[in-house]
Amino acid sequence: MLGVLLVLHGSKIPQWKEMAVGYASMLRESFPLVEYGFLEFDTPDLRSALESLVAKGAEEVVVVPLLFATGTHFLKDIPRLLGIEGENNTVLGKKINVRIAQPIGLDERVAEILKERVEGVIETSKPN
């Protein structure tokens, strides 16, 4: 069974966890096993979230970083915090295939959202 693990940076501000819960809920419409984890400041941490997926039956996990580009978090921190070294890893005593998806990157769909945000600010700042 496939598990999806969303990775967020994390923050002491509660809105980060709300974002994680919201995106996980949206993805559960397409994938039954979805968890989220944080790089820092919040819980669950990445290894705990990975273990939760495996405990629920995941035999393969796709890690989806909610990051815009590659960098230290993507290249080093995510694999280290997950405790993985390659595709086949042991989690809770089981061999699990863990793969990491690419960051969001440049995407016209994201640019459209950014455009909407700019237009929203312009619209709300117009004098009545």
Catalytic positions, written as ranges? 9
DSSP-derived letter for residue 128 is -
Q: How far apart are CA 100 and CA 22, in angstroms?
A: 21
Residue with tokens 């995510």: 78
Encoded amino acid at 89, one letter: N
Report whether 123 contacts 116 (CB < 8 A). no
Residues in Cβ contact with 22 at an 8 Å cutoff, skipping those fewer than 6 apart: none
Q: How far apart are CA 55 and CA 58, in angstroms?
A: 7
